Amino acid sequence: MARYTGPACRLCRREGEKLFLKGDKCKSTKCALNRRSKSPLPGQHGAAKKQLREYGMQLREKQKAKRYYGVPEKQFKKYFVAADKKAGVTGDNLLALLERRLDNVVYSMGLASSRKEARQLVTHGHFTVNGKKATIPSIIVRQGDVIALKEKSKESPKFKELMEAMQDVTIPQWLSVDKENAKATVIALPTRADVEFPFEEHLIVELYSK
């Protein structure tokens, strides 16, 4: 399935929650959910909110996770299969894998205002993993990996601005970030406690386990 290219705010409205797809706009009064609090769902007049059945709840939770991390359906299913094969709780394993994506790490470092922007920056070759150029946003980082902004990219006005802003970013505990040099080291693998968004991952597991 092709990646969604329509309005990002429409996705948040469809899920009825802020997925933080537009960076700072999501934290401001310009957020579509704030402006359409009475009829948040997409549509000319705001679709009537229906009571979801079991399958509908499971589907919405899966869609929410896909959209939050910006992962296509086929790739998301592969993550689930990999998580299911690992020891431990499948839902926790799934979220941990999604957190370890390179684009999510770049976003968590504070070097992108959204995960979508992080994907673009990675694709354009601005980052390295263990000293080697990385252009694939879906790379799964491992403990001990070092993710860094390329020296040449640091001269860009865009990244100078981001490096200034990252000084105020709260960094996840599983990353050790050198903010002065725009470099992060994976010091541990993320756990469920490191995922701030209130997912009900058991619903995703139930959906795929049918």
Q: CATH number of the domain that 110 lies in?
A: 3.10.290.10
Query: Looking at the predicted structure, is the pLDDT value of residue 154 above 90?
Result: yes
Tokens of 148: 């860094």
State whether 110 and 166 are in the same domain: yes
Predicted TM-score (pTM) of this structure: 0.82
Domain holding 44, by residue range, is 1-50
pLDDT at 113 over 50: yes
Residue 207 class from Cβ within 10 Å (0-12 exposed, 13-18 middle, 19+ buried)? middle
Q: What are phi and psi of 6, to 5 degrees?
A: -80, -170
Q: Could you give the number of structural domains in the chain?
A: 3
Q: What whole-number percentage of the chain has pLDDT above 70?
A: 77
Tokens for 114?
């959204």
Q: What is the dihedral angle through the alpha carbons of 87, 89, 92, 93, rounded to the nearest 10 degrees? A: 20
Residues 169-210 have pLDDT tens digits of 999 999 999 999 999 999 999 999 999 899 999 999 999 998
- 28 vs 8, more confident: 8
Say yes or no: 82 and 42 in one domain: no
- The answer on 177 and 165 residing in a single domain is yes
Mean pLDDT, to the nearest integer, of 119-139?
97
Listed in sequence order, the residues at least 6 apart from 190 whose beta carbon sits closer than 8 Å to its beta carbon are 95, 96, 99, 100, 172, 174
Compute the distance between CA of residue 31 and CA of residue 171 in angstroms, rounded to an integer.
24
Are residues 210 and 151 located together in one domain of the fold? no
Q: Answer yes or no: do 169 and 113 share one domain.
A: yes
